[in-house]
Amino acid sequence: MRGAPLSGSVLLVVIDMQRLFAEETAWFTPGLAAIVPNVAKLAEAQPDRTVFARFVVPQQPAEARGQWQSYYERWKAVTLDELDPAMLDLVAPLASLAHPGSIVDKKTYSVFETPGFVERLEEQGIDTIVFTGVETDVCVYASALDAVDLGYKVILASDALASGDMVAHDMVLTRLAPRFSEQIEILTTDAILDRWSA
């Protein structure tokens, strides 16, 4: 049964679909490749209502804030002193779908920590956010919870999400997110497209 149509006040937020997570790095996420087609389908359907959030790492751990310094001491291999900056690029074919202004860089798990992001949503009259990308249980979930706290309706595209820990991925989709049933909806890519075009 078709749900209510998704209006023009919907934004697709694609989280961390970057070479950093797609290729053989310390943060390689095996499931990323499988979700690229669905993420691309959603982005192609609403190119002007799509934002690509990129996780941007520091040059070295000392440049990070607070406990992030300890975090990057552990993950020094992904700091820019050791990582090719091109690894921060979006994966193909998503890189070709991004247009000026559609890429948002973040330094933390949640895209809502990016300066100006909330103001951008308010200016565009956004009330619903569709999340895709990686990792379901880290950056996607952190962003989804921030969206909930700020009063947005959240839709998780179940077949356009992946994680390096698929047990944690499943836990978010089957146990954690359903606890927010009035605020978070879990839909397939096709169901989202069906309602977006309704």
Give the distance, in angstroms, between the CA of residue 76 and the centroid of all CA atoms in the same chain: 23
Question: Whats the size of the chain, residue-wise?
Answer: 198
For the segment 184-198, what is each residue's pLDDT rounded down to a tens digit? Answer: 999 999 999 999 875
Residue recorded with tokens 């009330």: 127
The C-alpha angle with vertex 189 and arms to 183 and 194, in degrees rounded to 5, equals: 90
For the segment 54-106, what is each residue's pLDDT rounded down to a tens digit? Answer: 999 999 999 999 999 999 999 999 999 999 999 999 999 999 999 889 999 99
Beta strand pairing status for 10-15 and 50-55?
A: parallel
Pick the CATH number of 10-55+89-196 from 3.40.640.10, 3.40.50.300, 3.40.50.11540, 3.40.50.850: 3.40.50.850
Residue recorded with tokens 């959030």: 53
For the segment 163-192, what is each residue's pLDDT rounded down to a tens digit? Answer: 999 999 999 999 999 999 999 999 999 999
| CB within 8 Å of 174: residues ≥ 6 apart | none
Q: Where are the domains of the chain?
A: 10-55+89-196
Angstrom distance (rounded) from CA 3 to CA 11: 17
